[in-house]
Structure 1
Amino acid sequence: MSSTDYNYDGDGQFFPYFVITITSLITIPVTYSLLKPSKELENTATRIQSDFTPEHADLIAGQRRKQKRRERRLKRGIVSLGGWLVIAWMVYLMVVTARTIPKIYDPYDVLGVSRSASEKQIKSHYRRLSLTEHPDKAREDAARNITKESINDHWVEITKAFKSLTDEEIRNNYQQYGHPDGKQSISIGIALPKWIVTEGHGKYVLLVYALLLGVLLPYFVGKWWYGTQRVTRDRVLVASAGHLFREYKPEMGDGAVIGVLSSGEEFNEILKGNKADHGASKVEQKILAEGDLSISKAGLDEKDRRTLQDLEGARRKVLSLLWAYLGRIELDDETLNDEKFEVAPVALQLNEAFVAISLAFGITSPVLSAYHASQNLIQAVPPSASPLLQLPYFTTTVAKAVEGEASRRHMSIQDFMNLPADLRKKRVVGPGLLTGDQYKDAIATASQLPFLHVEKTFFKVVGERFVTPSSLVQFVVKARIIPPGSVHVPLVKDSDLEDIDAPEGDVAAITGRKDDKSGEKPIQPPLAHAPYLARNRSPRWHVFLADSKQGKIAVPPFTFSTFDKPLLDESGKPTFNVQTLKMQFGAPPQAGQYTFVMHLVCDSYVGMDTKMEVTLVVEEASKAEEMGEDDEISEPDEDTVAGQLRTLKSGSLPGATKPKKRYDSSDGSDTEGDVDTESETDTDTDTDDE
């Protein structure tokens, strides 16, 4: 009679399988998330080539490494490596265990005959074995560890195997139960260490289960849930978003936005403990010292100074560090300089949330100030400073030498690069200014910056010649990336400025945005040249329409970070391809002319924005229909042969009044007759700069 025996796998035959299963459930997903190609633009874009190394480059590099640790890539790498080591060890134990586990009884294997052997062949083979393996025939061999006992045991196995294949009863036992002795007891090994279930350890087992299920599991699940709920979609703390919302004002300058960003709760982690007080007065003294930028060395105006002095505690130090970063102030303390480079990326992240808050109010001024604050933070340039400070080796002294001491207007990089080469070099190279090599590197860097030059703008409705009330309008911007100082720029072809309607259903072409599913991956511009920012940043362009009379945003921004045509050729030179940017919105419900101010803002470079007036002409629906009828092919005269044939086919009498054309009112489009398929609307905009 058989029985079932449960034991606790003291030999470890099943334990490796249990461990490898649990470990794989964690290791494989973590490894996949670690090794899968990143789709973030900052990790896939190229870089602008420059030999410039900023001061404290080691601190900036250290902050970049710290940011990677915050993204948990290092932790995931450690977990992945440890998991695969455990899996490898368990596989090794499984291989070793497989060698020591007794094999399943197989009489054919014991006798050494094939499963297709007949009974006659089995008996013949058994007789041959008896001549060599019988205890009376076999001899002991100490060198091979063959003893009398092992010879007897081996012959017993041979005899049992022979009987199981020739004796009817024993053969039936083997066929039914897999063993010549009949049904055997079942031994099930449970994959737990033996000490856990031995007598006296039961209470410890219960304690472990209580800790796992009652303490650790709720803790980690709660921590995960709390972590997801305390961060907004813009990846800032909910508490910080609340502070930004309360600090918002309808009229805000660029410096005021910097002050608002200092309210983020994320800075408390940077300045925890006594860091909030360490060196605070020193930083404040440095940034408020008189300088060349304005009344302060860091570029603060009187209003910014009052904002700083009205604050206290950690926030006051944060704002001081932000101004020290923007003014590139040397703080003469490695810890303070490190904190200066650490707060800038955090402020940039908070600024993205502030942009979203400003857009919700729909007032133009704060939105532009927030975009400008992004430019200042990425380039480490104060709001009132010259855009030339974005170039390598340029200081306030060099910028003044270029612009002139009496100049009240800052020169953009484009204006600087448009100067004659001899005059440009004469103003920059000299004692106390730049060396020849520094000048060459600055010029080479400037010639790689992606300045988006607008060639043409217009409004259109897909499939129609005119914009009618409440129709879905596309605002199309035709522009080219023309780096500052570019020479031999080809003229734009008229065909490149047209916009041919995309096939119906091609969403990527209609919106002007490609994706990975379109078969043609979008073209990325190089990463922003931002040597002082301790984080990679891919440039983004924001296009929106504003009502200048009311000071409000009429059409919210559309953001573009990639293009549909190559920016560089195989040799690395600019292609000057015409890029197409599109944004869609609903036309006004009444006919008329609507003048907007188009803002094209790059969030990564100072002084490379475009502002111009554009006019949307909305035609009455009835007038558009009349215009459509005028464009039809004329009917043949009735007194001609063609006219008579037409009369006979239509069955109408000569001189009868032609019925009016009917239109399908469901979409407002012409559904009968010949339609002019020209896609570009006649309501081209006036592109005169303001």
Structure 2
Amino acid sequence: MLQYDNTAWNFFALAWISLYIVPSWYGIIRKLYKATIGTSDQDIGAVARTSDEEKKAALLKRNAKGLKTLNQGFYVNLGITVALTCLAVYLSASIGEGGEVNSFDPFTILDVPSGADLKVIKKAYKKMSLKWHPDKNPNNPAAEAKFMMVAKAYEALTDATAKENYEKYGNPDGKQSLEVSIGLPSWLLDSDNRNIVLMAYLIIMVGVIPFCVWKYYSNSSKYGEKDVMYNTYSWYHHSLDESTLVKSLPETLAGSAEFRERNMPKDVSEKSQIQKLLSKVKSVMQKPTHNNPILIKGNVLLHTHLSRQTDSADLSVQYKEDLHFMLSKTNALIDAMISVCQHQEALKTALNCIQFGQNMTQACWNKDSELMQLPHFDEKLAAKNKNISLAEFLKLDKKDMKLDGLTEEQKQDVYKCTEIIPQVSVETKIFVDDDEDDNVYEGDLCSVQVKLTRDNLAEGEKAGLVHAPHFPFPKQEAWWIILGTKEGKIIDLKKIAKSDKSFTHDIKFLAPKQGTYNFDLHVLSNSYIGLDQKLAVELVSKDASVLPEYKVHPDDAELDDEPTLFEEMLNAQNVEEDSDSDDDDSDSDEEEEEGIKELSAEERKKIELQKKRQAAAGDDSDDDDDSSVEEVYAD
């Protein structure tokens, strides 16, 4: 007997709601904790190793801590969780008042006291059956179900067999293998709520669920690798080629699809503001090739960063936020540029994109000195150290550094920075795996092993974050390793983000035809300008025909002779077919014997005599047997 059970529904709904609110509250509390007191400065990269980094560290603390760091999705989830929690509390209270899940109790169903006499039971049954009779409640499934339960309850208390079954098994129909009640609220069966239920079902099934699926698909279909939009990749493929220069890359980056909605000018007043900024950066900015307002605004903002004019009074608060947003996407987008160059096999452009990434990290542009990456260095101080690269400056003794005009504290910042910026040495070798011979032969899988060592680190020490006080986000040090041909084609390109004192990277490829080949190996920093190294790699590929003939070991030969599982199955099938053909042959033999039996006695005697002659002559040829038989028949 099935019945709609409100208490069972409450248990069911509470269980499903708990599956959402329990982990949701855990996530909410965890995010609130991290936004207030649970995040250390080290976790967010807010570490000031020099006085130049103090401003950046303070900015990271402001942006990475506090309730303002919680996004819109957090508050939406918080509202849903609070609403479901209130519903869970209500359901819990309903369960406490409603008691246990419905069981068959005839006294409760008839609303009579336990142990009531037959007269009271009949009176209650008559009253309730009239109340819930289907004729008086047309189109009311709940009333029909209630009427059936009343009839069963009356039967359990008046019929001897039903009463015995109820007392023994708890059910008037006897022992049941399973007792079930429908865990749905009874108001679903109320005819007054039918239209509301159908409308809610229609909205959810036809509206809400398809909309959520469409929204998810439309958003996810916009993004490719590394969460970069497909339209951005398309733009890069259109803008980048083998002749692209570094000075044109800010405009290419400004055209990324991620920036288009945000950099769209909202009103006419923005035009004058962009013109003021353009006048300040025009001297270091290449003439734009596109007249699109989105590209112009993004290009101007990026050059404002590259020329270190972000504190200019002409840069509004809104524009500072727009630039901050663009810089937050810069690392991933420049990596996407490099991947497009790798796809196009444009080595020179890939090197230019890596250099552009260094410029963006250090806020230095093409004509700036490499020493501008050091704390407190300006154009005058860099001019005093003219003709000295950053790599050379790092190796100078403190007394040889020209730091005139700096205070002792500022000099300490410079010394500290020279310890942070890596001093690297690179070693290479070519080898073939599992081959004791140092020679490389045509067709071998050879490896160019690149070993990079940070000479400024002690053994076991790890590289820290990049010293980039003008880039508003923490950045981990990494190295680009590129092997290319003299003609400018890329053989391998990989970004290695290992922080150990030394690490190795193997570039594997098949050895080309016999001859001597010269390659260029580029090792470039993802963040520092002036530390790049270019090494020559020579590969001598020898003729493989001079190698001794390879002889298969007997054990390996035996293994090769063993049939595979497929061959075994195929042979088994052939055996079955052969057995069938043997049966056919035996049938033909039997037919031949039958034919011999049908011959006359004289003919049989001739055949037997011929067989004895053949046996005496020792003739075992089947063809001869056949011819002899034919001769006998001819006789």
Class of the TM-score when normalised by the shorter of the 2 chains: 0.5 to 0.7
Q: Is the 8 A contact 2:254 2:298 kept in 1?
A: yes
Aligned equivalent of 1:313, options 269, 293, 297 = 293
- SS, match of residue 234 in structure 1: helix
Alignment of 1:61-140 (within 5 A): 75=73, 79=77, 83=81, 86=84, 90=88, 93-94=91-92, 97-98=95-96, 101=99
Q: Which residue of 1 aligns with 2:346?
A: 363
Q: Is the 8 A contact 2:481 2:523 kept in 1?
A: yes
Q: Deviations over 1:377-421 (max 9, x none)?
A: 122221332222223333333323333xxxxx4x33332232231
Cα separation, 2, equivalents of 1:106 and 1:202: 28
Going from structure 1 to structure 2, the CA distance change for 1:4 and 1:615 (only over 3 Å counts) comes to closer
CA drift of 1:242 comes to 1.5
Determine if the alignment matches structure 1 residue 421 to structure 2 residue 398: yes
CA drift of 1:225 comes to 0.8
CA drift of 1:45 comes to 8.8
Q: Is the 8 A contact 1:325 1:341 kept in 2?
A: no
Aligned equivalent of 1:435, options 407, 413, 418 = 407
Alignment of 1:171-570 (within 5 A): 173-177=166-170, 188=181, 190-192=183-185, 194=187, 198-272=190-264, 274=266, 277=271, 279-288=273-282, 296=283, 299-300=284-285, 304=286, 306-307=287-288, 311-329=291-309, 330-332=311-313, 333-403=316-386, 409=387, 411-424=388-401, 427-430=402-405, 434-454=406-426, 456-464=427-435, 465=437, 466-483=439-456, 525-548=463-486, 550-553=487-490, 555-562=491-498, 566-567=500-501
Amino acid at match of 1:538: Q
Question: 380-389 vs 317-326, which deviates more?
Answer: 380-389
Q: Is the 8 A contact 2:4 2:186 kept in 1?
A: no
Cα separation, 1, equivalents of 2:277 and 2:366: 19
CA drift of 1:87 comes to 5.3
Q: Is the 8 A contact 2:347 2:489 kept in 1?
A: yes
Going from structure 1 to structure 2, the CA distance change for 1:88 and 1:582 (only over 3 Å counts) comes to farther
Q: Deviations over 1:44-101 (max 9, x none)?
A: 99968344346687666666689x97xx977358637954884586278437724651
Amino acid at match of 2:397: P
Going from structure 1 to structure 2, the CA distance change for 1:46 and 1:539 (only over 3 Å counts) comes to farther
Q: Is the 8 A contact 1:327 1:380 kept in 2?
A: yes
Cα separation, 1, equivalents of 2:541 and 2:498: 31
CA drift of 1:323 comes to 0.4
Determine if the alignment matches structure 1 residue 15 to structure 2 residue 10: yes
CA drift of 1:619 comes to 2.1
Q: Which residue of 1 aligns with 2:606?
A: none
CA drift of 1:230 comes to 1.2
Q: Which residue of 1 aligns with 2:19?
A: 24
Going from structure 1 to structure 2, the CA distance change for 1:370 and 1:193 (only over 3 Å counts) comes to farther
CA drift of 1:189 comes to 6.2
Going from structure 1 to structure 2, the CA distance change for 1:220 and 1:58 (only over 3 Å counts) comes to farther
Going from structure 1 to structure 2, the CA distance change for 1:457 and 1:210 (only over 3 Å counts) comes to same
Going from structure 1 to structure 2, the CA distance change for 1:287 and 1:60 (only over 3 Å counts) comes to farther
- SS, match of residue 258 in structure 1: helix
Determine if the alignment matches structure 1 residue 612 to structure 2 residue 535: yes
CA drift of 1:188 comes to 4.3
Q: Which residue of 1 aligns with 2:560?
A: none
CA drift of 1:4 comes to 4.8
Amino acid at match of 1:579: F
Aligned equivalent of 1:583, options 479, 496, 507 = 507
Count of residues paired in the alignment: 481
- SS, match of residue 598 in structure 1: strand
Going from structure 1 to structure 2, the CA distance change for 1:173 and 1:541 (only over 3 Å counts) comes to same
Amino acid at match of 1:607: G
Q: Is the 8 A contact 1:16 1:91 kept in 2?
A: no
Determine if the alignment matches structure 1 residue 49 to structure 2 residue 49: yes
Q: Is the 8 A contact 2:8 2:183 kept in 1?
A: no
- SS, match of residue 368 in structure 2: coil
Amino acid at match of 1:474: S
Amino acid at match of 1:608: L
Q: Is the 8 A contact 2:482 2:523 kept in 1?
A: yes
Cα separation, 2, equivalents of 1:227 and 1:30: 27
Amino acid at match of 2:433: V
CA drift of 1:462 comes to 0.8
Amino acid at match of 2:395: N
Q: Which has the larger radius of gyration?
A: 2
Cα separation, 1, equivalents of 2:175 and 2:522: 90
Amino acid at match of 1:331: S
Going from structure 1 to structure 2, the CA distance change for 1:622 and 1:399 (only over 3 Å counts) comes to same
Structure with the higher helix share, 1 or 2: 2
- SS, match of residue 382 in structure 1: coil
Going from structure 1 to structure 2, the CA distance change for 1:607 and 1:378 (only over 3 Å counts) comes to same
Cα separation, 1, equivalents of 2:414 and 2:60: 21
CA drift of 1:542 comes to 1.7
Cα separation, 2, equivalents of 1:526 and 1:338: 27
Cα separation, 2, equivalents of 1:665 and 1:559: 41
Going from structure 1 to structure 2, the CA distance change for 1:171 and 1:396 (only over 3 Å counts) comes to farther
Question: 248-257 vs 359-368, which deviates more?
Answer: 248-257
Structure with bigger RCO (C-alpha 8 Å, 6+ apart): 1
Q: Is the 8 A contact 2:46 2:60 kept in 1?
A: no
CA drift of 1:447 comes to 0.5
Q: Which residue of 2 aligns with 1:656?
A: none
Going from structure 1 to structure 2, the CA distance change for 1:399 and 1:89 (only over 3 Å counts) comes to farther
Cα separation, 1, equivalents of 2:3 and 2:11: 21
Cα separation, 1, equivalents of 2:321 and 2:541: 56
Give structure 1 stretches of 5+ with no counterpart.
108-163, 289-295, 404-408, 491-521, 568-577, 626-660, 667-690
